[in-house]
Structure 1
Amino acid sequence: MTDSDWQVRLVGKNYAIAIAILAGISLASFLSIHASLVAQAVHVELGIRSSEQSQNFNRVQTATRALMSYVERPDTSDAQIRRLGRQLKERIEDFDRVNARIIEIIQTGDRSLWFSVPDSIRRVYFEEPYKLQDGLRAMSERSTVLATMEPGELRRAVVHWSLMDFTLSSGTTILKGFDGALEKIHAGSLEHVARVERIHIAITLLTLVVLGGEVLLIFGPMVRRLGAYNRAVAEARNELDRIAYSDPLTGTGNRARFTKALAVAIERVPQDGGFALILCDLDRFKAVNDAFGHQVGDRLLAEMCRRIQSVIEPTAMLARLGGDEFAILVPGMTEVDRLAGLIARIRAATSRTWNWNGSEIDVSSSVGGALCPLHSDDPDRLLAYADKALYAAKQPGPHHQVFDQTLRRESDEEATLLREFGRAFADREFEVHYQPKVRTADGSIVGLEALVRWRHPERGLLAPAAFLTALHRAGRSVDLTKVVLDLSLRDVESLRGHGLHVGPVAVNMPEAMLAGNLACSEILEALERHGISPDALSIEITEDVLMSRAAETIQASVKAISDLGIRVAFDDFGTGFASLSHLRDFTFDELKIDRSFVAEIGTNPMSEQIIRSIVSLGRSLGKAVVAEGVETEAQRRFLVGEGCLTAQGYLFAAPMPFEALTGWLTALRAPELRRVADRRPRPTASRLKHVP
């Protein structure tokens, strides 16, 4: 039984008991009132009938005296005597009828459940000293005899007045009886009224006692139990709200609470004047998790919350949006300078070294913010602007940024691109350009890198830097990767059809595709669709992918791709936060030296030493090393001298569309074009479909 069912049953049971008790009291009240009304009616009728009986008795006496008076007179005719006799008889009949009704009332009261005639009234009629009923009956009988006698009999009996004398003399006793009866009836009525009042008082007191008992014994406990239940429900609801709107790890608000608070803050802008929205993201949190474990990572998140709360105002609301990203709402903050100062303090507080069990852990953060209503009063746009500032803060520099007009232009341009992506995919506006990979020693081609371009109908050919960030934010990176993969394998198929073998074509594989377990199945499908063996394809992943929260899933996806016989390269190696443990845990075949190091060959000894270290590391691990961005002969000679066998850059060839690549390859045919020997066994095309 649920709590609500129990509550309903408890209320129903108590109400049923209360209604039953009140119904019993109501019935008792009804019965007592009914009995009182019946008894009162009887007393009223007795009083009326007794008065009527007394009046009829007087009429009988008057008629008797009149008859006796006329009989004594000698000039009275028989007709007159008979007429007076008939009048006396009528008076006697009326008298007897009333008398019979009184007797009926008294006898009915003896058998009734609702009333009884008081004994005092009954004694007046049937007992000494009055015996009123006997006197009335005797008087009625004697008067009846007089009324029925013939005129001659009456004249002869005039000398014997004993009958009439008795009749008339008994009237005094009877009148006293009437007076006694009326007195007793009146006294009985008063007693009955008093009894009824006592009964009503008793019923009223009983009702009050019952109601008080119900309150104390039924409704009181019920109200207390319901109150306790409601308090428990309120506490449970508060606990659920706390769970639903707070982050269990840090105790701060969560994304749901932040979204709700943001909507409320927008509504209160007319009262508060505005507010600031700040986003903070830890830069090397994944590295801490990998190096020290998730428990230490959780402690670090709690420490970051404590540090942020130490610099923000008490009225500000801090929430953990997920992972290592935090959001702060600061009511009343509307000036850019104040926001910039607060962002700088948050950045400073969250970038101090953290001591954990004697270990100094280097932590840092990126912080961005926007103002409402200065930058926007739309919650989604304001959040997008703050996120844009956060993204800008992650670039080299102070790592904190307030949204400004430059970022607004970039954001507006990004919004325009977002609206155009649908058309771009539908109209196949994306195309692939290819940059050759060559041997540094002799310039022979060993592979290609596929680089996407957007043939915009109005803005012309757009490089990846112009749209990739917006595309990733739009969640279309997987769609673009499918397009690049399909176009690249289609072009490889075409090249091979013309006898041009250029080694594997490298396609960048984004985090979304690897983390979603889509990469392996999409690659298999594309290879089978174009009839291409796995050794014709290579994938490149960047260091930021290695730092993903879905690293384990990505690691499994990369291994599955490698098991197909497809080469795996780490792109832009040395520029991110990847550690040597990632080289140990991830399956790969190739390290690509970032162009920022290559560009400083001859000018920065530190960059040259990093290149030597990467080449030495690759040689020790038995992995190929490719240098990106080679633009001068001096850079090429340095790489050859350090043992870097493969490179790509404008010194050899710029990225070119497929038609230009075909002409370029045809012109360089013969010794420069040859298939690159594979360094490890690869599955054949016939075995491809059987690879898991």
Structure 2
Amino acid sequence: MLAFLPAAVLGAFWIGGQLLLILVALGLPAIYLLAGMYDALPRFANQDETDVIAASALPGKADEALEAALRRNAATACLLVEIEDMVPLVRRWGEDAAEAVRDRSLARLRGMLRDEDQAFRIGDARLAVVLAPAPRLDLEILLSLAKRVQTGLEEPIGLDHGTHYLSVAVGFCGASRLKPGAQGAVLVDCAQTALDEALANGPSAIRAWSDAMVRSRSERRGLLADVERALVSGQIQPWFQPQVCTSTGRISGVEALARWLHPERGIVPPLQFLQCLEEAGQMDKLGEVILQHSLTALRTWDQAGIDIPRVSVNFSGTELRNPQLVERVKWELDRFGLTPQRLGVEVLETVISEAPEGIVARNIRDLGDLGCHIDLDDFGTGHASITALRRFSVHRLKIDRSFVTRVDRDEDQRRMLAAVLGLAGRLGLETLAEGVESVGEHALLAQLGCDHVQGFGIARPMTSEAMVDWARSHAERIADAQWAGRQTG
């Protein structure tokens, strides 16, 4: 149209004079501009600057994307992202810091997408993406996008009070994997199923929806039916993860972790069956089973000449609310001929901070008075006061992995960890760092004065029988290292 503008203006002057010339000269470009803006509207119709929407509104967004994809003979997809560390972050730093992390994460996510794609917050820890139609969105492309999203969101986030390291799980579903005519609710539900699978196999897992996940949901219903029988038949037993003294290198204890070896499904992930046990009201029974097997293993190791000073058992909130808990523990220790000092009781910091009085507090105090070793688990993720540490006779702080991750490479992490260790030292408490995964982290923790370490960098959880072989091999390595040290010294 603009190519003919000079001719149109000249014609207007000859026909209508100067006034018509001005109207044509200004009116035609304005009409062209408005037409162009109108034509551009469909290209940006998918953009939405809304930060937060209700989860119930997401299927409607997916419906719009599916309809647009059908018109253009293109593809779309839905991705759901879970920030896995949000709950401890809120407990440790408060809601304002968590909100800042949410805002920064959403901004990062949008920066990794096209202008036409939509990204929202749909919960305190969850982000959602609905992709605008594209000619090709196959599994390979979506998996690459999911990895890029995860990597970008797991980059450290620096705020005024420190640096945050996040673990991010991603579940996604492409519309091409659904039956023709599927609605937005189906697309979102499939992405949710994939995210549930990622969370069950995390941290930092990515899963794409598949038909097999439908079977997985069916299997979970089967697990609910099997779980009580599994407790009785001995399928659920503790595996043991070593804890090592940083000054001597010797085994200072083990933590008992529940594992279910299903005769047909193999090893069932703990997050799956623990949730099933909780739904079935069997957490107290699980505690009895784990305690009995743990004390059996400790006595067996003693008989085999293996020096393992203590076994630590996690006590759930359900168990701690049992008025008969202390008497049951006494009876079990007497039955196995073990002193209370050989048993470690691990209690979450949130339990102490949220239940300062009542039966829970009384049970913790009585177990400490009995002589059991009280470990405060996940220290740093709750709000337990120094007074509470004294009142509950806590012996050792188990420092949460969020303080340990990359401590050998991050100065802020190092200063934060040093502060925690300094506090423990002034209070006369032992310290154990969990989640140690590298030689560098292990070495730096030893240098900073952390008393004990535990994590995949030391050893993964193992059966009672495998623990015997590992403990003997570890003792030989320590003896060889000491001999070599004396030779070079």
Q: TM-score range by the shorter chain?
A: 0.5 to 0.7
* Residue in 2 that maps onto 1:608: 414
In the aligned structure 1, how far is the partner of 2:342 from the partner of 2:415?
33
SS where residue 467 of structure 1 aligns? helix
Q: Is the 8 A contact 2:353 2:385 kept in 1?
A: no
Question: What is the DSSP-based 3-state SS (H/G/I as helix, E as strand, rest coil) of the residue aligned with 2:249?
Answer: coil
Q: CA deviation at 1:587?
A: 2.2
Match of 2:263 among 449, 457, 472: 457
Q: Say yes or no: does 1:488 pair with 2:289.
A: no
Name the CA distance, whole Å, in 2 between partners of 1:408 and 1:604: 42
Alpha carbons of 1:568 and 1:344: their partners in 2 closer, same or farther (altered >3 Å)?
closer
Aligned to 1:142: none
Question: 1:520 corresponds to which residue?
Answer: 326
Structure 2 equivalent of residue 570 of structure 1: 376
Alpha-carbon shift at residue 643 of structure 1 (Å): 0.7
Aligned twin of 1:31? none
1:414–1:542 CA distance, 2 compared to 1 (3 A): farther
Residue equivalent to 1:659 = 465
Map of 1:299-318 to 2, 5 A cutoff? none
Matches for 1:69-218 after TM superposition, within 5 Å: none
Structure 1, residues 638-660: CA drift from partner, whole Å, max 9, x if none? 11111112111233222111111
3-state DSSP class of the match of 1:507? strand
User: 1:7-52: per-residue Cα shift (whole Å, max 9, x none)?
Assistant: xxxxxxxxxxxxxxxxxxxxxxxxxxxxxxxxxxxxxxxxxxxxxx
Aligned equivalent of 1:509, options 302, 315, 333: 315
What does the per-residue CA deviation read over 1:176-215, in whole Å, with 9 as the maximum and x for residues that have no partner?
xxxxxxxxxxxxxxxxxxxxxxxxxxxxxxxxxxxxxxxx
Q: Return the offset for 1:537.
A: 0.7
Indicate the SS of the match to 1:592. Answer: strand
Kindly indicate whether the alpha-carbon contact (under 8 Å) linking 2:227 and 2:273 is maintained by their aligned counterparts in 1. no
Asked if the contact 1:511/1:548 (under 8 Å) is kept, the reply is: no
| Distance across 1 between alignment mates of 2:307 and 2:238 | 18
Distance 1:406 1:498, change over 3 A: closer
Structure 1: state its 5+ residue gaps.
Answer: 1-282, 288-339, 348-373, 376-384, 397-404, 674-692
Contact kept in structure 2, 1:545 and 1:551, CA below 8 Å: no
Shift in Å, 1:551 = 4.8
Residue 272 of structure 2 is matched in structure 1 by 466
Counting only pairs closer than 5 Å after superposition, residues 265-284 of structure 1 correspond to structure 2 as none
Higher relative contact order (CA 8 A, sep 6+): 2
Q: Displacement of 1:419 after TM fit? A: 1.2
The answer to whether the 8 Å contact 2:378/2:399 transfers is yes
SS in 1 for 2:239: strand
CA distance in 2 between counterparts of 1:539 and 1:409 reads 38
- Distance (whole Å) between structure 1 residues aligned to residue 344 and residue 478 of structure 2: 21
Q: CA deviation at 1:605?
A: 2.7
Secondary structure at the residue paired with 1:629? coil
Alpha-carbon separation, structure 1, partners of 2:416 and 2:435: 16
Change (3 A) 1:671 1:459: closer
Match of 2:225 in 1: 419
Aligned to 1:266: none
8 Å contact kept, 1:443–1:652: no
Q: Distance in 1 between matches of 2:121 and 2:249?
A: 54
What secondary structure does 2:228 align onto?
Answer: helix
User: For residues 297-347 of structure 1, what are the alpha-carbon distances to aligned partners after superposition, in whole Å with 9 as ceiling and x for unaligned?
Assistant: xxxxxxxxxxxxxxxxxxxxxxxxxxxxxxxxxxxxxxxxxxx999769x9
Higher share in helix: 1
Measured after TM superposition, the shift of residue 553 of structure 1 is 1.9
**Contact 1:515/1:550 (CA < 8 Å) preserved in 2?**
no
Cα distance in 1 between the residues matched to 2:282 and 2:328: 15
CA–CA distance in structure 2, aligned partners of residues 490 and 440 of structure 1: 27
2:305 corresponds to:
499
| 1:619 and 2:425 are equivalent in the alignment | yes
**Which secondary structure does the structure 2 equivalent of 1:492 belong to?**
helix
Q: 1:533 is matched by which residue type in structure 2?
A: T
Residue in structure 2 matched with residue 554 of structure 1 by the alignment? 360
Question: How many Å separate the matches in 2 of 1:344 and 1:628?
Answer: 29
Corresponding residue for 1:324? none
Contact 2:368 2:392 in 1 (8 A): no
Counterpart of 1:62 in structure 2 is: none
Count of aligned positions = 301
Q: Does structure 2 retain, via aligned residues, the 8 Å contact 1:438–1:444?
A: yes
Answer whether contact 1:445 1:672 (CA < 8 A) is retained. no
After superposition, give the CA deviation of every residue in 1:51-95 in whole Å (9 maximum; x if it has no partner).
xxxxxxxxxxxxxxxxxxxxxxxxxxxxxxxxxxxxxxxxxxxxx
Change (3 A) 1:614 1:550: closer
Opposite residue 424 of structure 1, the aligned amino acid is A
What does 1:531-542 align with in structure 2 at a 5 Å threshold?
A: 531-542=337-348
Return the offset for 1:550. 7.6
Q: Which residue of 1 aligns with 2:151?
A: none
CA-CA distance at 1:579 after TM superposition: 4.3
Partner of 1:587: 393
Give the Cα–Cα distance (whole angstroms) in 2 for the partners of residues 574 and 413 of structure 1: 36
What's the TM-score once normalised by structure 2's chain length? Answer: 0.53
Shift of 1:636: 1.6
Question: Distance between the aligned counterparts of 2:455 and 2:216, measured in 1?
Answer: 29
Note if 1:439 corresponds to 2:253.
no
**2: distance between equivalents of 1:484 and 1:659?**
16
Once the two structures are superposed, what CA deviation does each residue of 1:576-620 show, in whole Å capped at 9, x if it has no partner?
344445334432100011123212213333322221121111111
- Aligned-residue sequence identity (percent) comes to 32
CA distance in 2, matches of 1:648, 1:594: 11
Change (3 A) 1:458 1:638: same
Asked whether the 8 Å contact 2:315–2:346 carries over to 1, the reply is yes
CA RMSD of aligned residues (A): 4.3
Question: Partner residue of 1:543?
Answer: 349
Name stretches of at least 5 consecutive residues in structure 2 with no aligned partner: 1-86, 92-118, 127-183, 186-191, 204-210, 480-489
